[in-house]
Structure 1
Amino acid sequence: MSDDIKQRLRNKIGSVDMHECGDNLAIALCTYLSDDPRRPENDAETENGWGTWVEEQCNAALDRAVAAVYPEIEALEARVAELYRDNQRAAKIIDAARAEAEALRERLTSAHRIIASYHKGRCYACGWPLAESQENGCIPGDCSFRPSDRDSAHGEWYARMKEVDAAREGGE
């Protein structure tokens, strides 16, 4: 425990209001210790009006109070850190689930477009009418149009075929 934290806690505990007497805990302790039979006869008065021994004993009592509550504070700090780590892990899980849901939504949207195209009797990749067999033209999932990679239609056709393949793989 750092001295700064110890001092702040000691001051906080010492400043606790004592409703019955109108003073705070530190003053009540010093008042009690002023009459303590163990107080040395030659206890020099301090600027606060108490003896050096009285203030030392008061600070020692406040230090013991700090030492008594500090483990609870450390335990709370550890719990807060644990909750923060749990929150970070949960956030990562949620983000991954959102990304997965978005990818699934995209696949479903793509599959819906492909199926809608097939229901209209059209090949999704090239738009031609579907044939009864692969030998006669396009069938669902297999486009007979094979543009060369130099053909201007190739890029759009290729992207749509990849979409068909992805939809097929996602459904397996």
Structure 2
Amino acid sequence: MAKITLGGTPVETIGNLPEVGSKAPDFKLTDTDLKDQSSSDFEGSRLVLNIFPSVDTGTCAQSVRTFNEKASQLENTKVLCISKDLPFAMARFCGAEGLDNVISLSDYKTGQFGKDYGLAFAGGTFETLLSRCVVVIDTDGTVLHTEQVSEVANEPDYTSALNSLS
């Protein structure tokens, strides 16, 4: 379990992020058109998984905006913004903001992604929501970089995540 804080209050996740160098767990999530998207749909592309509790919070929204800006400069790389928000909320936010360089996906149906990646909150106010993390995956499914953000209100280290693609 990762020990992090939420507004300064200690909380834990149900596990730990996949190890750098390991094979990323497969996933199946729901896109903004309510269609299933699985890890196999992104084969051959590098992936930046921007994971967060809810796009309706300031820090989460900023991470989507920042990765959207950076994504257009990345070769053979897709940025997946993942939360347990309903797909409608993600579509509303990205549409209103004009964000079209990221792919919004939801773990609302089963929560299996949060379990398989070990990043769902184990208790507290945000229990079962996804904690703020970044996972970078190479074209062959190998984990290149992970970051479990230690304070949920903080933004991830964008530079480290993107530098792992070099």
Q: TM-score range by the shorter chain?
A: under 0.3
Higher relative contact order at CA 8 Å, sep ≥6: structure 1 or structure 2?
Answer: 2
Whose helix fraction is larger, Structure 1's or Structure 2's?
A: 1
More strand by share: 2
In terms of Rg, which structure is larger?
A: 1
The TM-score with structure 1 as length reference comes to 0.18
| TM-score of the superposed pair, with normalisation by structure 2 | 0.19
